[in-house]
C-alpha cells in the first residue's frame, strides 16, 4: 500500500495497516513530515515500487490532481482518497482525466478510483499526532463512481476494514448531503449562536446554562478550514441552512403577531421530538432509555473517581456521565446515566456509602 | 415565610429555608400535594398567620392573580414569585392591582412586590422531587419594579441567599431578553435541527456525530410547556430568532451564488469564536484552558471507575469528562479534561497502569 501524504490521517492509516502486518510505502512533498512518519514506523520511503492500493491523504484542494497522478502513474493500482467533500472531487478527477494527454485511457483509469472519507480526525494535524486506532469503530464512507470497478471497490473496502473502521457506501451526493446536515449545518448554527453572544450585556452571559454551552461547544472552530469545506459543499450547506431558517422564521412570524400563535412553537417542539427519536443510540443500535442519577459532589480531586469506584463496586455499569459545575460555588452535580434496572441498586449503594443523591430522572 | 404552591420549586424553597431553621407555612389548591409537602417536613399548613414574606410558586399563568391575592391579603408581607417570565407578569400584576376595588392602595401594594426567577428546576415536578439544595450555587434573578421598596428588595435577597443561591438583579425586560438568548432561542434551534432529521434517509442518521448530538440534546422537550413559555416572551423570542436566521441567511446567500463567497463562512466562524470566548468558565470565573487527555477504554462495567481511580491515585483533579461511544464497536473513548499542568503527570501515570492513551488536545 502506498500512502500519499504523511499527515495525521495518512500516517494513521499507515500505522493501522502496519499493525496488521502489511507493507507500507510513504511519500509527501514535505520532506520533514515524511521523515517523521518513517521514524514513527509508519512505512518506508516510496521509490516507485509496484503497489496494489494508493491512498491519497492530502488537503482537499490538492486531492484531485494527486489522485489523477496516481491513476496515470502506470502502477495500475486502485486509488482512493480521504477528503471530506466527495461530489466536487469526483467531478474534478473526471475533468482532469479527460483533459489528460492520454484521455482515451480515462474510463479505464477512472475504474480504478473509489472516493473515501473516514469520519475520524483530530483538531490538530501532523504525523506525530497519528494513531493506529484512529479509525477503530468509526464510520468510513465509500463513494464509488458509476465507473468504479468491483475490484477497486473491493480493495477500498479491504482498506477500511483493515483499519478497523465500518464501511458505508453512499453516492458522493448522498455523502455531501449527509455531511451538510450532520456536520456543516450544525457548525454554522453553533457559530451563529455563539456570535450572538458578542453583543450581549454581561447580565446575559451570567445566565448561560448547559443548553447553550452544549450548543456552542464547537464554536471555537478554524475559520480557514471551514471556508475550504464550504467551498466544496456550498449548495448543500446553503440548502440545509435554508430549510432550518425557514422553519425558525415561521415560528418567529407566528410569535410576532398581535396575538401570538404559540401553536407554531408546540408544533416545532413536537417535530423536534420526532427527529430526536431517530438518533442512533450507543453502539449504533436503537436509542436506549437511561435513567439519570444525580449526585452532589464536593469539587475536590478524586471525588469523581471515588463515586465511580462505589458504582462499580455495586456492579453497576455507568453508561455515561455528565458533570454540571455550579457557578460560583465549589460543589458540582455529577449525573450518572445507567440502565433503568440499575438505578435503584445504584441509589441504595451510593446512599449507603454516604453520597448525597437527588431523585433519578429520565435524561433530557 | 409563606410558600403558596407546594410543587417542586415551592417545596424545595421551603425545605431550604427549614434547613436554616426558619418557620414555614404552606398552602396549595391541590390538597394531596400540600399533604405530601407537609409530610416531607417542608412546613405547616397555612391558617392565615402573619408572615414576613410570601413566595408564590405556582404555574406561570396563575402567578399574577395569586401574587395580587397575597398583596391584598392584609398581612403586609413582602411578596415574590418564581415564574420564568417576568415582564408580562409585572404588567399583569399592575393591571390586576389597578382594577382592584381598593385601587388607591395599588402603589403601596406594588411596593411590596419583587419578581424573582430561580434558575433551577427539574424535568418533572411534584413535591416528592423537591430538594433543599436545589438552588445551591444557582443564579436567582430578581426583577424589582420601579415601585418596589428597598425593604421588599432586601427581603427577597435574603430569601435567595438563605436558599444558597446567587442573587442577580435585572430589569424584567433584561431578564426576558437574557432568557430568550440563553434558553428560549437554543430550544427553538435544537428542536428545528432535530426536526430536520425526521425526513432524512437512514444513511444520514448513520453519520450523526457528537456535534449534532450535543446540539439536539434538549430536543425531547415538552411542547405544551414551551407553548406557555413562548406566550410570555413572544416578542423577545421572535427577535432572537430573527437575528440568528438573518446571519445564517446571509451565509446561505453567499454560498448559493455561481461563485460561492466563502469569506462569509469564515466571517461567521470568526464571529462565533469571539462570542464563544465570552462564555463564563467553571465557578463563574474566566474561561480556563484545559487539556483533553483521550483514553481508549473497553466498554465494560467499572472501566470508567478504574480509570478515574488511577487518575486520582496520581493526584490529578479531573475537571470534566466526556464519553464518546464508538458506533458499532464495544470500545469507547473517554476524554479527561485536566488543567494544563496536570496533563503530563496524568499521561505518565495512566500509561504506567496500562491504559491506551492518545495525544492530549486542547478542548474544542
Q: Residues A3-13: pLDDT tens digits?
A: 999 999 999 99
**Chain B contact present for A177, CB below 8 A:** yes
The pair phi, psi for residue B2, each rounded to 5°, is -105, 130
- Strands B356-357 and A291-298, how do they pair? unpaired
**Chain A contact present for B249, CB below 8 A:** yes
Of A208 and B364, which is predicted with more confidence? A208
From A139, A238, A315, residue closest to B256, measured CB to CB: A238
Asked whether the beta carbons of A86 and A176 are under 8 A apart, the reply is yes
Q: What is the DSSP string of B191-260?
A: HHHHHHHTTS-HHHHHT--HHHHHHTGGGG--HHHHHHHHHHTHHHHHHHHHHHHHHHHHHHHHHHSSS-
Would you say residue A30 has pLDDT above 70?
yes
The angle that helices B185-197 and A234-256 make with each other, rounded to 10 degrees, is 130
Asked whether the beta carbons of B81 and B57 are under 8 A apart, the reply is yes
Nearest to A336 by CA among A347, A325, A352, A351: A347
User: Distance (Å) from the C-alpha of residue B30 to the closest C-alpha of chain A?
Assistant: 22
The cell numbers describing B75, all together, are: 398581612
Strands laid side by side in the B25-27 sheet: B44-45, B25-27, B2-4, B53-56, B78-81, B113-118, B139-144, B166-169
- Predicted local confidence at residue B122, as pLDDT: 61
Interatomic CA distance for residues B190 and B220, integer angstroms: 9
**Chain B contact present for A161, CB below 8 A:** no
Closest A-chain CA to B263: A227
**Chain B contact present for A298, CB below 8 A:** no
Closest B-chain CA to A263: B227
Q: Is A5 left (phi over 0), alpha (psi -120 to 50) or beta?
A: left
The cell numbers describing B292, all together, are: 483533553
Interatomic CA distance for residues A18 and A12, integer angstroms: 10
Q: Taking CB atoms and an 8 Å limit, are B269 and A243 in contact across chains?
A: no
- Predicted local confidence at residue A38, as pLDDT: 92
Instruction: For an interface test with B, give the residue of A207, A273, A331 to mutate (most B CBs within 10 A).
Output: A207
- SS3 (DSSP) at B93: helix
- Predicted local confidence at residue A67, as pLDDT: 97
Considering chain A, what percentage of its residues have pLDDT values greater than 70? 91
Q: With beta carbons under 8 A apart, name residues in chain B contacting A329.
A: 136-137, 164, 283
**C-alpha triplet A282, A284, A285: angle, nearest 5°:** 80
- Cell 459532589 maps to which residue? A297
Q: Taking CB atoms and an 8 Å limit, are B141 and A207 in contact across chains?
A: yes
**C-alpha triplet A29, A32, A38: angle, nearest 5°:** 95
Asked whether the beta carbons of A165 and A139 are under 8 A apart, the reply is yes
Would you say residue A327 has pLDDT above 80?
no
Closest A-chain CA to B126: A359
Q: Taking CB atoms and an 8 Å limit, are A249 and B245 in contact across chains?
A: yes
Closest A-chain CA to B243: A196
User: Distance (Å) from the C-alpha of residue B212 to the closest C-alpha of chain A?
Assistant: 6
Interface size, chain A vs chain B, as Cβ–Cβ contacts under 8 Å: 476
- Strands A356-357 and A291-298, how do they pair? antiparallel
The cell numbers describing B109, all together, are: 401594594
Would you say residue A172 has pLDDT above 90?
yes
**pLDDT tens string B269-291:** 999 999 998 887 643 444 456 78
Interatomic CA distance for residues B246 and B329, integer angstroms: 41
The band of A359, judged by pLDDT with boundaries at 50, 70 and 90, is: low
Considering chain B, what percentage of its residues have pLDDT values greater than 70? 91
Burial class (CB in 10 A: 0-12, 13-18, 19+), A328: middle
**pLDDT tens string A108-122:** 899 999 999 998 876
From B192, B208, B266, residue closest to A279, measured CB to CB: B208
- Predicted local confidence at residue B283, as pLDDT: 38
Instruction: Annotate B151-177 with b (16+ C-beta within 10 A) or e (fewer).
Output: ebbebbbebbebbbbbbbebbbebbbb
Nearest to A275 by CA among B316, B218, B362: B218
Considering chain A, what percentage of its residues have pLDDT values greater than 90? 55
From B220, B244, B320, residue closest to A364, measured CB to CB: B220
- Residue ranges of chain B with pLDDT lower than 50? 282-287, 326-330, 364
Chain centroid to CA B125: how far? 15
**pLDDT tens string A237-247:** 999 999 999 99
User: Distance (Å) from the C-alpha of residue B226 to the closest C-alpha of chain A?
Assistant: 6
From B206, B310, B362, residue closest to A123, measured CB to CB: B362
* Strand residue runs (E) in B271-312: 291-298
The cell numbers describing A186, all together, are: 450544525
Q: Please report, for chain A, how many H helices and E strands are present, in that order.
A: 15, 12
**Chain A contact present for B86, CB below 8 A:** no
**Chain B contact present for A21, CB below 8 A:** no
- SS3 (DSSP) at B297: strand
Nearest to B206 by CA among B197, B216, B215: B197
In chain A, residues 217-236 whose CB comes closer than 8 Å to chain B: 217-224, 226-228, 230-231, 234-235
The band of A151, judged by pLDDT with boundaries at 50, 70 and 90, is: very high
Nearest to B52 by CA among B20, B34, B30, B75: B75
Q: What is the DSSP string of A206-256?
A: HT--HHHHHHTGGGG--HHHHHHHHHHTHHHHHHHHHHHHHHHHHHHHHHH
Closest A-chain CA to B190: A272
Amino acid at each position: 500500500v502506498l500512502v500519499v501524504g504523511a499527515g495525521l490521517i495518512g500516517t494513521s492509516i499507515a500505522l493501522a495497516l502496519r499493525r496488521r502486518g502489511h507493507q507500507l510505502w510513504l511519500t509527501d512533498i514535505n520532506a520533514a513530515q515524511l521523515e517523521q512518519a518513517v521514524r514513527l514506523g509508519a512505512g518506508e520511503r516510496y521509490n516507485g515500487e509496484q503497489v496494489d492500493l494508493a491512498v491519497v491523504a492530502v488537503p482537499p484542494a490538492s486531492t484531485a490532481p494527486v489522485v489523477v497522478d496516481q491513476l496515470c502513474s502506470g502502477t495500475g493500482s486502485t486509488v482512493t482518497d480521504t477528503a471530506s467533500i466527495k461530489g466536487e472531487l469526483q467531478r474534478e478527477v473526471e475533468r482532469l482525466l479527460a483533459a489528460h494527454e492520454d484521455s482515451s485511457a480515462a474510463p479505464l483509469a477512472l475504474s480504478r478510483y473509489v472516493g473515501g472519507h473516514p469520519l475520524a480526525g483530530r483538531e490538530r494535524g501532523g504525523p506525530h499526532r497519528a494513531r493506529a486506532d484512529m479509525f477503530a469503530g468509526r464510520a468510513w464512507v465509500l463513494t464509488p463512481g458509476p465507473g468504479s470497478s468491483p475490484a477497486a471497490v473491493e480493495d477500498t473496502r479491504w482498506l477500511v476494514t483493515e483499519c478497523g473502521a465500518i464501511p458505508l457506501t453512499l453516492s458522493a451526493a448522498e455523502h455531501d448531503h449527509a455531511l451538510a446536515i450532520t456536520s456543516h449545518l450544525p457548525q454554522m448554527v453553533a457559530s451563529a449562536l455563539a456570535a450572538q453572544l458578542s453583543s450581549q450585556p454581561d447580565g446575559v452571559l451570567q445566565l448561560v446554562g448547559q443548553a447553550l454551552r452544549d450548543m456552542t461547544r464547537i464554536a471555537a472552530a478554524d475559520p480557514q478550514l471551514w471556508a475550504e469545506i464550504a467551498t466544496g459543499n456550498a449548495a448543500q450547506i446553503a440548502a440545509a441552512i435554508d430549510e432550518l431558517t425557514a422553519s425558525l422564521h415561521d415560528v418567529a412570524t407566528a410569535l410576532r403577531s398581535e396575538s401570538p400563535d404559540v401553536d407554531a412553537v408546540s408544533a416545532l417542539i413536537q417535530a423536534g421530538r420526532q427527529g430526536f427519536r431517530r438518533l442512533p443510540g450507543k453502539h449504533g443500535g436503537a436509542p436506549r432509555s437511561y435513567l439519570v442519577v444525580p449526585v452532589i459532589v464536593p469539587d475536590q480531586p478524586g471525588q469523581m473517581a471515588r463515586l465511580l469506584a462505589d458504582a462499580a463496586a455495586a456492579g453497576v455499569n455507568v453508561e455515561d456521565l455528565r458533570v454540571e459545575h455550579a457557578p460560583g460555588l465549589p460543589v458540582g452535580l455529577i449525573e450518572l446515566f445507567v440502565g433503568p434496572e440499575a438505578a435503584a441498586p445504584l441509589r441504595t449503594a451510593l446512599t449507603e456509602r454516604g453520597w448525597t443523591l437527588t431523585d433519578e430522572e429520565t435524561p433530557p
